[in-house]
Amino acid sequence: MSVVESWEDEGSLKIRGKYLMYKLDDSKLLAQCDRIKAMVEEIARTPARQKDYYASSYHHWKISPTVQLSDIRKFEKQAGIELPVEYVYYLTQVGRGGACPGTFFEDFDPEQKAEEWEELYGDGDWEGDQEDKTIHLCDMDLTYVAYLIVTGPQRGRVVYIDYNGDMMPMYPKGSPDFLTWCENFYSELLAGYDIKPTWKFMWQEPGDAHALIYAFQNAEDQEYRKEVIYSFGKFKELSQEAYQFLESLQTSEWKEEVAEVLKEFPMDKNRYKKYELSICHSFLTY
C-alpha cells in the first residue's frame, strides 16, 4: 500500500498533522491475500476440517465480506490511529471477520463510535512495550488471547496475552506481521502438521524441516532454539534431512531435547539406521 500526502478530502486520514491517502497497490501483499483466501476455501472443502473445535463451534471456515477502504479511513480518522498496512489489506481483500487461527475474528465495524473502541486500545501490560496499543483479534487456547499491536516499536505484530496475567506474552514464531501469521496457520493446517490443539501452533516454529533447521541455526536466543527442536514433533514422520540434523545435535547441549523428539519417531529412526547401515555395507563391499 503506497502512501502519499494529499489535500484534505472525504477519504483522507490526518495523522501527525498530515493528510494521507492510501492506494492498495502492493503486489506482494495482494498475492498474500489471494493465497490466504484460496487456503481457507480449500480447508472449507475438507470434511475432516469441519470437525475442528473452533470451526464447528464458531466460524465454520466462513469469512465475512470485505471492508471498503473509505470505511477504514473513516474509522482511522475517528479513532485517531493508523491501522497496520497488512491488517488493512486483510480487511479490504480477504474479509472483515470470520475464520481465523483461534475462535473467530469479530467483524470490523467502521460505524462504531470511537468511545466504544477505546477498550480495544488499552495499554500493553508486558515489559518493554508499555506504550503499545492493541486490537483484540480472537481467543486462542488455554488462557491466551491474540491481539494486534497498532502503535509502538512492535506495531503490526500479533502478540498472545494471558488474560489471567500469570504468563508472559508470546510473539508467534516466524510471523512478523498479521498476514504472515494467518498464512502460516493455514499452511501448517494444509500440510497436515500437528498444530491441534491450537496452543501447539502458538509456540511452534512454522514451516517444513528445512525451515526449522534454518530457524535453529539463525536463532540467537537459546530458549527459542529449544522450542524449534520441539517443533519437529509436529511432523507425521521425519524426513532424512530432519533426522540427520537431529542426530547431529545428540552430542551437544541439546541432546535431551533431541532424545525426547526422536522418541516420537521410532519407525523413522529404525528406517534411517537401516539406510545408513546399507550405505556403509555398500561402501565396504565396494
**pLDDT reported for residue 141:** 84
Domain boundaries 2-179, corresponding CATH code: 3.40.1580
Per residue in 56-69, pLDDT (tens digit) is 999 999 999 999 99
Per-residue cell: 234: 509436529
How many CB atoms are closer than 10 A to CB 240?
13
CA-to-CA dists, residue 149 to 38, 85, 177, 178, angstroms: 26, 12, 10, 9
What pLDDT is stored for residue 268 in this prediction?
Answer: 61
pLDDT tens digits for range 129-176: 445 778 889 999 878 999 998 888 899 999 998 888 788 889 999 999
Q: Quick one: how far is CA 86 from the chain centroid?
A: 12
Residue 16 has pLDDT above 50, yes or no: no
3-class DSSP assignment, residue 270: helix
Average pLDDT over residues 198-208: 95
Residue-range domain boundaries for the chain: 2-179, 208-285
